[in-house]
Structure 1
Amino acid sequence: MPTYHSELLTGLLLNLLVILIMILLISFQYLSRNKVHKLHIKPLSIYVACSLLLLLSLALSVRLEDGFVYDLRFIPFLLGGIYGGNRVLPWLAVTMIAVRVPMLGPGLVVTIIMAILFTFVIMYMRPRLEGKDWKARVYWYTLMSFGYSVLSLLIPSLVFDFDYTSSFLVYSAVLSGSTFFVFYLCEIIRTIYTLQLEAIKYEKMQVVSHLAASMSHEVRNPLTTVKGFLQLIQEDPSNVSINSELSKVAVSEIDRATEVINQYLNFARPHPELEVEVEIRDEINRSTEIIMPLAVKKGIVLKANILHHHSIIGDPNKLQQVLINVMKNGLEAMETGGTLRIFSYQEGDRVFIVINDTGTGMTKEQLMRLGEPYFSMKGKNGTGLGMMTVFQLVEGMKGTIKVLSKPGKGTSVILSFPIYKEEGNLNRMKQTTEVRPSLR
């Protein structure tokens, strides 16, 4: 292969490498900045990027004849015209001519003719290709590049009497192949963006669907029970004793429906409405007192150990709800008795609350789904809203939650919150109090 063939091939391949690197960098930057929330790049950004590629292509061009230089500048010109539309294309045509002007020569006339001609060609073809499959569009863009190579190199070589037929074959093959490869890559990236957008939308719809199904199921059951009992009361209003029992059950069912609705509201409003100083020791003691009767009934030993006296910022009722939900889950995981341990300690500027049970435990797959709507270890009796609410409330109080578990070896839930520091709090932190004997 003659030297100029080798130079032409090397220059064109280097030009292709620069174009590909720029496309990948722009795609990466765009994906990171927009977080795949929308599929739209501003025309000005497209123009700036394509103009930069035009300059780089011209800098890597190869001179075949006096006044004639060849490169892959048509690819960024075509990219800008296709993805930027008519708002970008005329300005790119002007830019392609302007960057060629300093080199002068008869090739400048060819550049002007090609820029004007293919501006109209792209304007004509672009709307007609939008409805076609992306693969068909790539083939059409490749055909346009081949036409450009014929009009910009083969015909001028015959008109200006410089025979570079073999060089035309190299240029045409590289330009057409590069166009196919570049647009194939761009269309693949666009397809990935679109699929990610659809996946995000589908995931949101799935969450809404699960929540709607869960709420419908959990609220409809107690309402159906209440309706049935009210009908029974209406049939025999004189039977006071039976109607009194039916009324109690109906009220308890309404309370259950109210609790489900409150859980949904807690999920919808994860951030505590009240933010005050919350004493960790006090809330743990209150929660264990509430849980103690249930633990005794199930034959479960409840142990508590608090190794500090610190406060956090949050809503004491919400923290108590978190602790009770986690402890109830621990109790329900121990059908044949066991031990539920609660202890708290300080590490750095954070306070940790650990709730450990000796229940059935969970597999890795179950751990990964913990906190999802409608996922519960309680079968038909659970909605998954309890742990979902726990995750949301802990996050709302600027805390973290970590769950460790193994099948047959129990579960440990580790809650972490930033310590609330105040000058008046330092004296209280120095005090030591014993854990209530009934909880040991």
Structure 2
Amino acid sequence: MDHLDLLTGLLINLLVILIVILLLNFHYLSRNKVHKLQMSSFSIYLISSFLMLVSMGLSVQLEDGFLYDLRCIPFLLGGIYGGRKVMPWLAVTMVAIRLPMMGTGVIITMIIAILFTAIILYVRPRLENKALKARVYTYSALSFGYSVLSFWLPSVIFDFGELSSFPIYSAVLTGSTFFVFYLCEIIRTIYILQLKSIKYEKMQVVSHLAASMSHEVRNPLTTVRGFLQLINEDPSNITNNKELSEVAVSEIDRATEVINQYLNFARPHPELEEEVAIRDEINRSKEIIMPLSIKKGITLKANILHHHSIKGDPNKLQQVLINVMKNGLEAMENGGTLRIFSYLENGKIFIVINDTGIGMTKEQLMRLGEPYFSMKGKNGTGLGMMTVYQLVEGMKGTIKVLSKPGKGTSVILSFPPYNKKEEETASTPARTTEVRPSLR
């Protein structure tokens, strides 16, 4: 019966220790948001002392004056993770908690507290850089040594005759120590990985922003460069050069707007939403991309079968169109035809951009829109289509891509049409009619 009581008491003791450790770690993780790893020495001391007090409250008495529990586990935990600032005070606390119960076991507690304080202070700095398994096995070995001393010393000094309970106590204490320390080391490892993950994500955000800004600014700069080359080739054509210079200035303004959008990420502001004429934006995008199509020997055709508008940012729509059209031109190295047409169907406005280029496989289509995935090799950043997807989604639109190797690609954009009556109704405050009771 004593053996069963000992086993039950020790298992209940282990359960309480595990619950307290898990709750404290969850609270600590939530409160600090993993911005730091180390707990204060005072916190470690308080937690370890509390667990030792709880363990003493759940102890099992086998013979007069001898109490057995799992106080060794919080004692080791506090010493290993608290170090020199915590360990001596924990030894004093363990003796102080045991002292009111008196009995000959107090002397054993004093001897073990002094001995293990010295051992832990010696072993701890030598385990800091060791692997997880090495640390956990060492802590478990210390626990086994504690169980041996707690039974061997009473048997030698005080003729304690309960040695038959030793295998149960030793096995439970050693196994519990292994489990608790393994759990703590895993949680500690998770903390470290989360800290590294947060740092890595921050670096990735900076990298994505820098690469994306470079990609989006390069498009208008390429257009400006092409127009300046055309102006330089025929400087006497004043009328044509004036038109080219106006478009070049407009593209520089667009590059400035793109830069401002990225700089304003730190100061979020409401998205610009206004009526955007599809016909005007397609024609303007066609004019911007025309010099590049002429240079590559590609025929550019546009057919707009409606006069409807959508709600959104005209600069963003133009950014989408130019990105997709530029991709289509770059997919046709040996010339071809780039078609842009727009129509209204089933209450939605569709914009289709079709090229006769090299096309894409199913695997490439699946990855389209992923960061850093590019069909252009070293010449591409892999951020153009990712930006297109984000901008289209921001304007409550959808994007669908159809392609086959060697047969070209079709990018289908769809948007809800702009409803002027609904906008006016939404912006006009509702009228309220006051009803007065009639007097008779």
Q: Please tell me the TM-score bracket, short chain as reference.
A: 0.5 to 0.7
Q: CA deviation at 1:295?
A: 8.5
Deviation, structure 1 residue 194: 1.7
Aligned residue among 256, 259, 262 for 1:267: 262
2:124 aligned residue: 126
Give the whole-Å Cα distance in 2 for the aligned partners of 1:341 and 1:428: 35
Code of the residue aligned with 1:130 in structure 2: it is E
Gapped runs of 5+ residues in structure 1? 307-315, 345-353, 395-399, 430-440
Cα deviation, residue 10, structure 1: 1.8
Structure-2 residue corresponding to 1:291: 281
Q: Is the 8 A contact 1:291 1:328 kept in 2?
A: no
Q: CA deviation at 1:54?
A: 1.6
Q: Distance in 2 between matches of 1:325 and 1:222?
A: 10
Q: Which amino acid aligns with 1:37?
A: H
- The structure, 1 or 2, with the larger RCO (C-alpha pairs under 8 Å, 6+ apart) is 1
Of 406, 414, 426, which aligns to 2:429?
426
The Cα shift of 1:320 comes to 4.6
Structure 2: how far apart are the matches of 1:319 and 1:428? 31
CA contact (8 A) 1:150 1:172 kept: yes
- Paired letter, 1:193: Y
Aligned length: 391
Structure 1 residue 85: deviation in Å?
2.4
Residues of 2 paired with 1:426 and 1:378: CA distance? 52
Q: State the partner residue of 2:405.
A: none
Q: 1:270 to 1:232 in 2, by over 3 A?
A: closer
Deviation at 1:164, TM superposition (A): 2.0
Task: State how far apart, in whole Å, the 2-side matches of 1:340 and 1:18 are.
Answer: 69
Quick one: distance in 1 between partners of 2:43 and 2:365?
46
Are the aligned partners of 2:136 and 2:181 in contact in 1 as well (CA < 8 Å)?
Answer: yes
Deviations 1:190-244 (A, max 9, x none): 222222222332233233334444555676798799899999999x9xx844999
Unaligned runs of 5+ in 2: 287-300, 329-337, 355-361, 403-410, 433-440
Q: Which has the larger radius of gyration?
A: 2
Write out per-residue CA displacement over residues 101-135 of structure 1, whole angstroms, 9 at most, x where no aligned residue: 33221112222232233222222221121122222
Q: Which of 183, 186, 190 is equivalent to 2:184? A: 186
Once the 2 structures are TM-superposed, how far is the Cα of residue 143 of structure 1 from its aligned partner?
Answer: 1.4
Which stretch of the first structure deviates more once superposed, 114-123 or 378-387?
378-387
Change beyond 3 A, Cα 1:181–1:383: closer
How far does residue 373 in structure 1 lie from its aligned partner after superposition? Answer: 5.6
Q: How does 1:405-420 map to 2 (within 5 A)?
A: 408=402, 410=412
Provide closer, same or farther for how the CA distance between residues 401 and 204 of structure 1 changes in structure 2, counting only shifts above 3 A.
farther
**8 Å contact from structure 2 (residues 147, 170) kept in 1:** yes
SS in 1 for 2:67: strand
Instruction: Report the residue type matching 2:429 in the other structure.
Output: L
| TM-score, scaled to structure 2 | 0.68
1:94 maps to a residue whose letter is V
RMSD of aligned Cα (Å): 5.2
Q: Give the secondary structure class of the aligned counterpart of 1:298.
A: strand
The alpha carbon displacement at 1:321 in A equals 3.7
Provide the identity percentage: 49
Contact kept? 1:229, 1:250, Cα under 8 Å: yes
Whole-angstrom CA distance in 2 between matches of 1:333 and 1:426: 45
2:14 to 16, 23, 45: 16
Q: In the TM superposition, what is the alpha-carbon distance from 1:5 to its structure 2 partner? A: 1.5
2:76 pairs with 1:72: no
Corresponding position of 1:351: none
3-state SS of paired residue (2:39): coil
For residues 373 and 71 of structure 1, the distance between their equivalents in structure 2, rounded to whole angstroms, comes to 56
The range that moved more, 39-48 or 381-390, is 381-390
